[in-house]
Copies of this chain bind each other. A is one copy, B any other.
Amino acid sequence: MSDFETNNNDMRLKPYRKDFTYSYSCGVFPTIELITSRPEEVIKLIITEKGLSNSGVLKLMTIAEEKNIPYVIDNKTAERLYPKENSYAIGAFRKYTCTLRSDKNHIVLVNPSDKGNLGTILRTLTAFGIEDIAIITPAADIYDPKVIRASMGAVFKTRFQMFASFEEYLNSLADTVQRDYYPFMLNGQPLETAQKQPGNVFSLIFGNEASGLDDSFLSVGTPVRIMHLDTVDSLNLTIAAAIGIYNFTQGAFQK
């Protein structure tokens, strides 16, 4: 694990595993997001020969030079890391940790299990101006390249923090502003009737894909539900999160 600390440039990068201290962005767009938002964590960039005629790759190389980030043209390593992807660019980066800001809006995901879902939710919340996400473990590995890919690199623009329980999350918060909690549950009140309180910040809380939130969340803040027909059992988690986030930020981006 420590070999890249001591021997950074010569390290042999391996296909991602959860126990690694580093991970990868794969693809031009996520890698531009990586070196733009988290340049200090980049170990190196790998560019493939066929990417050299791509305008996004040229942009990537320009940013890398400005930021003194090393890059190599290395088809073999790209092929070894992503045999099926045929990708133009890969960014290797050190895993880093963040701390949530107590005075900002939060999304709280309780035990999200699907990497694609986690990435899509990161992309959605970033689009609507939320930058802080709490993840209650066990959960999908946020550093996994599949999460990064599904987020289109939005993960690098967020602050994420893992907690072993919802209580641990609550205890981590400073009491500087009034915070309203909205667990999304099948037996909550209709979402449309829950109005955001001016001046307060909010935490929107979503459960696991299969099991949702357990009844203990009925006593947390204002439980809400997205009204829909019972023609489907439930909404996809990414869809529920998007509707919830849109509802609470709607109108904030009118020009």
**Across-interface contacts of A253 in B (CB, < 8 A):** 227-229
Q: Is A239 an interface residue (CB 8 A)?
A: yes
| A131: nearest chain-B partner, CB-CB | B231
Q: How many A residues touch the partner, as a band?
A: 20 to 34
Copies of this chain held together in the complex: 2
A27 to chain B, nearest CB (A): 12
Verify B242–A227 contact, CB threshold 8 A. no
Could you tell me the distance between the alpha carbons of A227 and B245 in the complex, rounded to whole angstroms? 13
Q: Which of A207-255 contact B (CB under 8 A)?
A: 226-229, 231-233, 235-236, 238-239, 242-243, 246, 250-251, 253-255
B232 near A152 with CB under 8 A, answer: yes
Are A236 and B128 in contact, with the CB atoms below 8 A? no
Is A111's beta carbon under 8 Å from chain B? no
Stretch from A12-20, A39-47, A119-127, A132-140 forming part of the interface with B: A119-127
For A126, list chain B residues within 8 Å (CB): 229, 231-232
Asked if B228 contacts A128 (CB within 8 A), the reply is: yes
Is residue A70 within 8 Å, beta carbon to beta carbon, of the partner chain? Answer: no
> Is A190 an interface residue, CB under 8 A from the partner?
yes
From B127, B229, B242, contact of A232 by CB (8 A): B127
Contacts of A246 in B (CB 8 A): 226, 243, 246
Cβ of A101 within 8 Å of any chain B Cβ, yes or no, is no
Complexed CA–CA distance, A232 and B152 (Å) = 8
Decide: A251 and B192 in contact? CB cutoff 8 A: yes
Bound: A233/B235 CA distance, A: 25
User: Which residues of chain B have C-beta atoms less than 8 A from A120's C-beta?
Assistant: 236, 238-239
Chain B residues whose CB sits within 8 angstroms of the CB of A235 once the complex forms: 123-124, 127, 242
CB distance from A204 to the nearest CB of B (A): 15
* A-B interface, 6 closest residue pairs, ranked by CB to CB distance from nearest: A227-B253, A127-B228, A239-B242, A127-B232, A243-B246, A126-B231
